Structure 1
Amino acid sequence: MKILHVIANLAARYGGPAQAIMGMTKSLAEMGNEVTIYTTNQDGEGVLDVPLDVPIIKEGVEIRYFPIQNPRVFGTSLPLARRLRSELKQHKYDIVHIHSLYLFHGAVAAHYCRKYEIPYIVRPHGTLDPFLYHRNRKKKAVVELLFENKNLDYASALHYTTEEEKVLARPFITHDRSFVVPNGLYLDDYQDKVVAGSFRMKFPETENKKIILFFSRLNFKKGLDLLIDAYATVASMKDDVHLVITGPDNEGYGETVKGWIQEKGIGDRVTFTGMLTGQEKLQVLKDSDMFVLPSYSENFGISVIEAMICGLPVVISNKVNIFRELIEYEAGEVVNCDSTELAISMMRILDNPDYSEQIIENGKRLVESQFQWSKVGESLNNNYKAILNM
């Protein structure tokens, strides 16, 4: 098959979606498909240093970047639109996979797919979770009237990454054409040997401390208010803990978080590292003792499965959409979006090494059984074929 994926951006600062699409497309290419990604060169307020509208081959996948234009907030790129029109008119692709809603790339890709009768799939990326769906509702309603309702109504299928995401989206969708295929990992990427203690050497304030790790974007939906409140409680009872907050701060939200930390008087017991990738990411995962993600909304949570395969006990909220899988495998603590519950779960792991080891082993088993890209790619491939054979 000739498969086209369209996404607003691929810069690392955008977190899980940018990471997931690379694994997704690589796994499809490994099955013998011709896979292409169209995206923009957007990187925050700047741009990526990449050639424009020139094929770049990365791990068997062709990537074409197009210039981001104003208004940037919508991922606007007229050259991207022109290329889509040209290629889809010529039927260069058998099927198109569109990532996320309410953005320029989705509007034009779905429009030209309908015009030239090419089946397309829409992956909502959690935007149909009620927590996010009702946010900025008036603006979204305008976009829905202009194009998004039509895009969803005429899609060959919607791609959800968890059953929970599908359930949450149901009130806002007029049809049931959908499939559930999760994100995944290439497990070998997490077997690279990193020297234990490498992260702690760079951040000596963590020496002889148990590191509680937050590893995600600094964003309003991530539950950092809950984490700071819960951590302050834990820190008041334990002298040997240190909170590490790792991730990009795309919207300046970190200043708000630092304000909460100062109010709690725990500034010397919290470290911000910024975004870490590659070996540095593995180092912080290797040296940490617990992973916490108390999000108010989380479509999948790829950082959760990264933490599990790296041997960390995890604590997540029941708004992180893989929480049901964690409960089934007894692979971590799942709490309501409540700071008291969060503190209790963190203390339970800190105080019970045997229990911690058990959920670590269960977490690894869960990732190995359900979240490997080889299995994910096969499932995606089968769904594409089913759509094309309809």
Structure 2
Amino acid sequence: MLRILQVIASLAPRYGGPSVACPALAKALVRQGASVTVFTTNVDGPGKHELPLGTPQKRDGVQYEYFDGWTWPAEYKFSPALARALFWRVAAFDVVHIYSMYIFSATAAAWACRRHGVPYLLHPHGTLDPYLRRRHALRKRAYEWLIERRNFRHAAAVLFNTPEERRLAEAWLNRIVGSADVPERAVVPVGVEEHWFAPADPAACANLLARFPELTGKQWVIFFGRLSFKKGLDVLARAFAEVARRNPQAHLVVAGPDTEGFGARLCTWLRQAQVLEKASFVGVLNEQQSRALLGAGAVFVLPSYSENFGQAVAEAMACGLPVVISDRVNLCSAVAQAGAGLVVPCESAATAAAIEQILRQPAQARAMGERGRRLVAERYNWQAVADQMLALYQRMALRVRRARAGFSREGHEQPARFGRW
């Protein structure tokens, strides 16, 4: 049985995709016969989750261990307790899956793995997109030079979720590692949970309409996800303003956590365009409410400036909703090839035209929705993803075993790639 450790800074929902993907992947790996442990912290933005620290928690066959983290500096999620656990216990695992970069948990995990000769995989989750690397660029370059360069040079593999994400990262990776051949650069998508394919609960639909009666009888243009700087909310506001002027039945529904204050900015932009009364901010929804929203929507819109995968896009497609996404959402090629929606440049006129096309052609919209459901069911189910990840982990472990055996027979020390530093 393969012993896998996943290390992630936080599982709080405010942090978006990785906090959803990590537990889902862990559960799928357990179903495939692996032993999975997750190390994380209790940090949740400026505060902390009330979680049992130091006591393993078992959920869905996965062992979760939470460690106390510092809320300052908030983005770094410093945790001496996590570092100690990694140092003393990482040698008990066959492979380690490290989420994100420029963050304490990733740095501590990679160092502990090198110290004990355990192969590790780095999972940037889109942070190597040039658009994101330009944000806080000086800080990131210093961190790369001091820390990330060594982390990547000694990694057994780097995981990307789409071919486009890998393409965007190649130049940086070749430069920082000094080779185009190592480490292994794997592409494995994120999966979608089975419950997204289930029909919406009528009670959840009724509850949604009772809370937001202004949605009754309207065509819902849905934004579903974190209200973040990279999501193209300014493009969304301008595009919806154009749509609303020509289509009185169109109504914008904004769902998701607002951890960066962009909800207020979006309100301002919509007010300036005189369409704020045609928008509803429904906040964070639970699973049933989310399915009810997406199942009753007319179109899903995500005009992101950068998106390494687009988890919300896949979930919307699983609910049978046609999508309008920018060409900077890295699922765009799959969406276009499947005919599951419309892919447009990241600008308001093209986004508005695509939304209107779907609103005006319900038969075409239904066909797109069905094609999207098939795409997600065939390509983005967690069982298929777990199979690919297990194969990757096994390749990593096998390379280390072979390297150790070869050097042991020749009477040499371990190669530097699996050494301490």
Q: Tell me, yes or no, whether TM beats 0.5.
A: yes
Partner in structure 2 of residue 20 of structure 1: 21
Partner in structure 2 of residue 48 of structure 1: 49
Match of 2:238 among 222, 229, 232: 229
Partner in structure 2 of residue 287 of structure 1: 296
Residues 226, 294 of structure 1: 8 Å contact kept: yes
Asked if 1:180 is matched to 2:187, the reply is yes
TM-superposed deviation, 1:331: 1.1
5 Å matches for 1:195-274?
195=202, 196-274=205-283
Residues 196, 291 of structure 2: 8 Å contact kept: no
Counterpart of 2:100, as a letter, is: S
Match of 2:80 among 60, 63, 78: 78
Partner in structure 1 of residue 124 of structure 2: 124
Alpha-carbon displacement from aligned partner over 1:57-113 (angstroms, at most 9, x marks no partner): 11111111111113232011000000000102xx21000000001000011100111
Counterpart of 1:203, as a letter, is: F
C-alpha RMSD over aligned residues: 1.1
Moved more, 75-84 or 62-71: 62-71
Moved more, 230-239 or 196-205: 196-205
TM-score (norm 1): 0.97
TM-superposed deviation, 1:201: 2.4
Query: Equivalents in 1 of 2:42, 2:318: separation in Å?
Result: 31
Partner in structure 1 of residue 324 of structure 2: 315
Asked if 1:346 is matched to 2:355, the reply is yes
Query: Equivalents in 2 of 1:327, 1:148: separation in Å?
Result: 35
Alpha-carbon displacement from aligned partner over 1:156-199 (angstroms, at most 9, x marks no partner): 01000000000000010024421111001122454154104442
Query: Equivalents in 2 of 1:218, 1:188: separation in Å?
Result: 24
Which runs of at least 4 in structure 1 moved beyond 4 Å after TM superposition?
A: none
Partner in structure 2 of residue 64 of structure 1: 65
Seq. identity, %: 39
Query: Equivalents in 1 of 2:349, 2:365: separation in Å?
Result: 20
5 Å matches for 1:330-369?
330-369=339-378
Match of 1:326 among 323, 335, 345: 335
Instruction: For residue 54 of structure 1, give the secondary structure of its aligned residue in structure 2.
Output: coil
TM-superposed deviation, 1:357: 1.3
Query: Equivalents in 2 of 1:245, 1:283: separation in Å?
Result: 14
TM-score (norm 2): 0.90
Moved more, 225-234 or 170-179: 170-179
Residues 196, 319 of structure 2: 8 Å contact kept: no
Query: Equivalents in 2 of 1:237, 1:198: separation in Å?
Result: 29
Query: Equivalents in 1 of 2:199, 2:10: separation in Å?
Result: 27
Query: Equivalents in 2 of 1:153, 1:53: separation in Å?
Result: 32
5 Å matches for 1:81-100?
81-88=83-90, 91-100=91-100
Unaligned runs of 5+ in 1: none
Residues 200, 287 of structure 1: 8 Å contact kept: no
Match of 1:297 among 303, 306, 325: 306
Counterpart of 1:72, as a letter, is: A
Alpha-carbon displacement from aligned partner over 1:114-170 (angstroms, at most 9, x marks no partner): 111100000011011110112211000111122111111111010000000000000
Query: Equivalents in 1 of 2:363, 2:289: separation in Å?
Result: 28
Instruction: For residue 321 of structure 2, give the secondary structure of its aligned residue in structure 1.
Output: coil
Unaligned runs of 5+ in 2: 175-179, 400-421
Query: Equivalents in 2 of 1:255, 1:292: separation in Å?
Result: 19
